[in-house]
Amino acid sequence: MLRLSISALSFLDLRIGDLILAMKKILLPFFFLLTFTQAGLLAQQTFRLHSHNDYLQKVPFWEAFGAGAASIEVDVMLQEGSLVVAHEKESIQPERTLRSLYLDPIQRAVELGMIDEFGFHLLVDCKTEAYATLEQVIKEVSPYSPLLFSSQNPAGLRLIVSGNRPKPEDYDKYPEWIFFDYQSKNLSPDLPWEKIGMVSLSFRQFSVWNGKGRLVEKDRKGLEDFISLVHSFGKPVRFWGSPDSKTAWRAFQDLGVDFINTDQPKAAQEYLASLNQRVYATDSIYSVYNPSFASDGLDAPIRNIILLIGDGNGLAQISAALFANGGNLNLAQIKNMGLIKTQAADDFTTDSAAGATAFATGQKTNNRALGVGPDGERLRNLPEILAERGFSAGIITTDQITGATPAAFYAHHPERDDTDQIAAFLPKSALSLVIGGGKNTFSPLQSELVKEGFILVDQLEGLGEMGADRIAYFSSPGSNPSMEKGRGDFLTQSAVEALQFFGQKKTPFFLVIESAMIDSGGHSNSTSTIVTEMLDFDRLIGEMMRFADQNPGTLLLITADHETGGVSIPQGNVEKGEVELGFHSDDHTGILVPIFAYGPHSGLFRGIYENIHVAHKLIELAK
């Protein structure tokens, strides 16, 4: 909030009345425009907005200007020799004039340096007789001539006259800063195009679409043809009376509408300006693995358990990847699936620490806790429990090894951010294999890791052929890069090496693999991050399904610790591999997450149940 100190008031020697006037003229514009100028905003936009009936906004002009509107509409009526802003006589308020609501604020914005050149025009909709009203427009606007468009000032303010207008043959009789809004489907070369600022028509002349669902092809074609016709004369087009929704704004942008009509300029600007971040189109579509289902669902002994965790990966994230990959995924081949409740012991919305601890121990705990209960008691984890039954265990993550999800499977500590204390649990843990980031954190523990039998390797290649009993590969000093920043096939390659490692040990194994950065995409509301990370995760899933088919007795589970972002999919195109995501949040949510199962006893994981029951089922099966 902007505050004026007592000393500042004394220095300015403002009376209360002067202060109020100053705040109206100076502070109000800054409230909307503190972080950007309109010209700078327009330079970043690939769309242009028309603020329809702008004078009805709570703060006329400033709100549209702050939203970067390129066209601002003001209805005027000639009343007792002056122009009042109103749609009809019943709504006239004498103090609301063209000058007070628009011309004076524009002049002030120029004086304050908010406008270097005009990236917008005023669309003046005359509600009273054309010639007399326009004569008064010229009289009232002319004193602002330094601001106005001319051949000497091509970046100046233009007025486009709409509503009641003179005859087209009279257009060239008016000042060069006045243009006209042409409203007819009949377009021909002999019109006075040099004085036509835009072509506007009622949307209802083309369609009855209400902005929900999609335009029918016939209506779309009619709109496209008319837009092309207007553009052939080098003029922009606008449709009034059009739907005013996110779906409609996107449709009009895709159609090439030059000025998108809206009563919600701020909301429209925020939605359209963020489309690039929320729309993803894949470069290529990969083929999925066709599983044999030979041992799927059989009542057979479990020899290997592979648990794949997509951090933050909800049903919408999976759907987005599926549509981006032409409507198919490796994950989509799996038949047995259920839904998991993710709540923590102390909160409706879990974090990764509590969510992963539930998977690792079969008990609920508080957010931020790793491998300990709500009262701090140490909880046995699956690697520890399964070790008693002859299982080796390992973890792979695209995160750091001390990240909350992998750490829940070896550490016992109440605070997930105590990285050094968490790392100290690794040497004496039940894990035989760790692959992930965080080399700098574990550097002080190298001698202890070696003492406890770990071989520290510096590359993935050949890791599975070393014949070692325990191996640690720290893939980066800190965090691993995302797929968008060049991580490549690290996740799948790590898994393949891990399977070779456990194969040489000739013991049953429990392997946890985390795809960590689907969660990052949810937190940052980045569609491309979510989809690229999920597609990478799905390639891993395909390889693990292949392994399960080749190694009967392998149970594969794919799930998530929670959903992140409150993600929805308002629009997409399967043929183009394109999806648009919407975000309700930039944090975790309490939405149920899916679990998929493939291999022996996979039917046991159907239904809706608490996250802790995943561990309970695995412990029972491992007997």
| pLDDT tens, position by position, 364-383 | 999 999 999 999 999 999 99
The predicted pLDDT at position 345 comes to: 98
By CB neighbour count within 10 A (0-12 exposed, 13-18 middle, 19+ buried), where does 107 fall? middle
What residues pair up with 228 in beta bridges, in sequence order? none
DSSP string, 293-353: -SSTT------EEEEEEETT--HHHHHHHHHHTTS--SGGG--EEEEEE---SS-SS--HH
Give the residue ranges of the chain where pLDDT is below 70.
1-45
Determine the Cα–Cα distance for residues 525 and 211; give it in Å rounded to an integer.
Answer: 24
Residue 464 confidence (pLDDT): 87
Strands 260-262 and 178-182: unpaired
CB 562 within 8 A of CB 356: no
298-621: CATH number: 3.40.720.10
| pLDDT on residue 91 | 86
Phi, psi of 356 (to 5 degrees): -70, -35
CA–CA distance, 611 with 358 (Å, rounded to integer): 6
Q: Can you give the pLDDT at residue 142?
A: 97
- 508 near 304, Cβ under 8 Å? yes
Which of 35, 31, 29, 75 minimizes the C-alpha distance to 51?
A: 75
Predicted pLDDT of residue 45: 61
- What is the predicted pLDDT for the residue at 623? 82
The CATH superfamily of 36-276 is Phosphatidylinositol (PI) phosphodiesterase (3.20.20.190)
CA torsion sign, 374 to 382 to 487 to 286? negative
The DSSP code for 23 is I
Report how far residue 375's alpha carbon sits from residue 302's, in angstroms, rounded to the nearest whole number: 34
CATH topology match: 36-276 vs 298-621: no
CB 341 within 8 A of CB 349: no
Residues in the chain: 623
Cβ pair 423, 472 in contact under 8 A: no
What pTM was computed for the model? 0.86
The answer for residues whose C-beta is within 8 angstroms of residue 222's C-beta and 6 or more apart is 206, 207
**Maximum alpha-carbon separation in the chain:** 97
Q: Are 223 and 193 in contact (CB under 8 A)?
A: no
Domain positions in the chain are: 36-276, 298-621
